[in-house]
Amino acid sequence: MAITEAVENYLETILILSKKQPDVHAIDICSYLGYSRPTVSIVLKKMKKDNLVLVDSFNHITLTGKGRDVAEHIYDRHNVLSEFFMLLGASKKNAVEDACKIEHDLSDETYSLLKAHYLELAGKSDKKAE
């Protein structure tokens, strides 16, 4: 199963929300992404089928191990790219927006090279950027 950019965005959103609040519901995803409830429901149903999320009897949404791996991968890319662009002089607003546009499209090879360069410039170790 190929994971689309849209699904990556949903998984990343669930990860971000779960760091900020104890429970994540579909309405939280709607608010965060600005999508309608029916749209979010359709994607959540697909993500449940693909074993990326779990939804319990209280409609709390959690990431499976597989879903968390994808979410953390994209979230790391987003943070590293945003910080790298700001290090280059981009405003925070533009850095974050541009990172969102390209975080899904970079090859692993190019991203690894860019991350290594960023870590070197920023004087950080090879850990996830925060």
Where do the DSSP E strands lie in the chain?
Answer: 53-55, 61-63
What's the pLDDT band for 125 if we cut at 50, 70, 90? low
Residue 127: pLDDT above 90?
A: no
Residue 33 makes CB contacts below 8 A (sequence gap 6+) with 9, 10, 13, 40
Kindly report, residue by residue over 54-112, the tens digit of the pLDDT: 999 999 999 999 999 999 999 999 999 999 999 999 999 999 999 999 999 999 999 99
What pTM, to 2 d.p., does this model score? 0.87
> In a 3-state reduction of DSSP, which class is residue 63?
strand
Cα–Cα dist 73/46, whole Å: 20
Question: Across residues 16-34, what is the average pLDDT?
Answer: 96
The domains found in the chain, sorted by start residue, are 5-64 (1.10.10.10), 70-122 (1.10.60)
C-alpha closest to that of 74 among 15, 120, 119? 15
The structure tokens listed for 35 are 């999508």
> For residues 76 and 127, what is the distance between their CA atoms, to the nearest angstrom?
10
The answer, yes or no, to whether residue 129 has pLDDT greater than 60, is no
DSSP three-state, residue 101: helix
